[in-house]
Amino acid sequence: MTKQKVLVTGGAGYIGSHACVELLEAGFEVVVVDNLSNSKPESLARVQKITGKTLSFYQTDIRDHAALTDIFAKEAPDTVIHFAGLKAVGESCEQPLLYYHNNVYGTLVLVEVMTAANVKQLVFSSSATVYGESSSPQYSEHFPLGAINPYGRSKAMIEDILRDLSAADHKNQVQNPWKIALLRYFNPIGAHSSGLIGEDPNGIPNNLMPYIAQVAIGKLSQLSVFGDDYPTPDGTGIRDYIHVVDLVKGHLKAITALNGDKFKDGACNAYNLGAGRGYSVLEMVHAFERVTGKTINYKISPRRAGDLAECFANPELAWQELDWKVEKNLDDMVADTWHWQTLNPMGYV
């Protein structure tokens, strides 16, 4: 396979910036399209510093059909990785239309432009939030879907749209059929080992790991542990945390798969990207204390609405079909989070 050009939507964001590093280091040409609604251009400057390579950047909203069409005409990418999207569950409950417009309509415009440009290889950032209720805490791709908030439903709708696109190509036996990987992320945390790029949440973080890191550095005074009466060994919620660098390597493996036999007649397949094991909130707190030598001030608080007791991936399909597995462990995730946090206490500013 000759090295390809990859267009990365949302490439200035947390996961997208790490993907740009891995793509550039693997020899891909990289074109980023990001409206900077939740990121700063400094992340891309740092990507270029880490890799010593350059990328092309367009500050553009993916919903701008004409601008996106021009970018595809000029850049002629082979593949798209689609990270651009809004991701805050709470905000999505308050402003559902914003989420459907940005995430669902944004993806519609993207795939329309891709179809017109005859670029039909796509890796999409989906999420474990698309899964519905299940009797097992370990989720496989065939489990029933049933997101419970507008953010999750926006991801589920996009998955439906992409499956329909692929099915239509199959039915019509088109020459260049859609090849799509839907990657369902579990809980991405950590940062690049250089400490130059990482997660830079706006305001008070919603997610556990950035919250713990900000307590450790003294920006926040106390972590609230949401519930200690779940049916888990220590009573706190269990999640499948995955190092962001492992996660983005899964995207490179997906590109290889899209170019291979499995997808040669076109397909739209979902893959869980997770470690396949979970850690509780208190295990995360204690790991952070052990690795950093800091004490994390926490208190037990009521459960957070909508939270599951336990949720972790069955990642076997990604092992088999993408040849991908996590390589980093909990200590790597904590150490890299802390390295980024201490080098950048105020984020990218």
- The binding site for ligand NAD (CB under 6 A) comprises 9-10, 12-16, 34-39, 61-63, 83-87, 102, 106, 125, 127, 185, 188
The residue annotated as part of the active site, out of 139, 151, 241, 271, is: 151
How far is the C-alpha of 169 from the C-alpha of 212, rounded, in Å?
Answer: 46
Over the window 262 to 301, marking each residue x when it contacts ligand UDP by CB under 6 A and - when it does not, the resulting string is: -------------------x--------------------
Structure tokens at 176: 């260049």
Q: Residue 34 touches which of ligand UDP, ligand NAD, none (CB < 5 to 8 A by kind)?
A: ligand NAD
Nearer to ligand UDP by C-beta: 21 or 223? 223
CB of 301 to ligand UDP, least distance (A): 7
Closest CA to 47 of 21, 19, 11: 21
Q: Which of residues 53-82 bind ligand UDP (CB under 6 A)?
A: none
Close Cβ partners of 269 (under 8 Å, ≥ 6 residues apart): 180, 181, 182, 262, 263, 321
By CB under 6 A, name the one of 229, 307, 323, 327 that touches ligand UDP. 307
Which spans in 52-149 are helix H? Answer: 65-75, 89-94, 96-99, 106-117
Nearer to ligand UDP by C-beta: 36 or 220? 220
CB of 307 to ligand UDP, least distance (A): 4
171 SS3 class: helix
CB of 211 to ligand NAD, least distance (A): 13
Q: What is the dihedral of CA 37, 43, 44, 45, to 10 degrees?
A: 130
Q: Does 198 bind ligand UDP (CB under 6 A)?
A: no
Extract the runs of DSSP E, i.e. beta strands, from the chain.
5-9, 29-34, 56-59, 79-82, 121-127, 138-139, 179-185, 187-189, 223-226, 238-239, 241-243, 267-273, 279-280, 298-301, 310-313
Is 105 assigned a catalytic role?
no
Nearer to ligand UDP by C-beta: 24 or 238? 238
Nearer to ligand NAD by C-beta: 99 or 230? 99
Nearer to ligand NAD by C-beta: 39 or 166? 39
DSSP 64-88: -HHHHHHHHHHH--SEEEE------
Name the residues annotated as catalytic. Answer: 151
Binding residues (CB under 6 A) for ligand UDP: these are 187, 206-208, 211, 223-226, 237, 239, 281, 304, 307
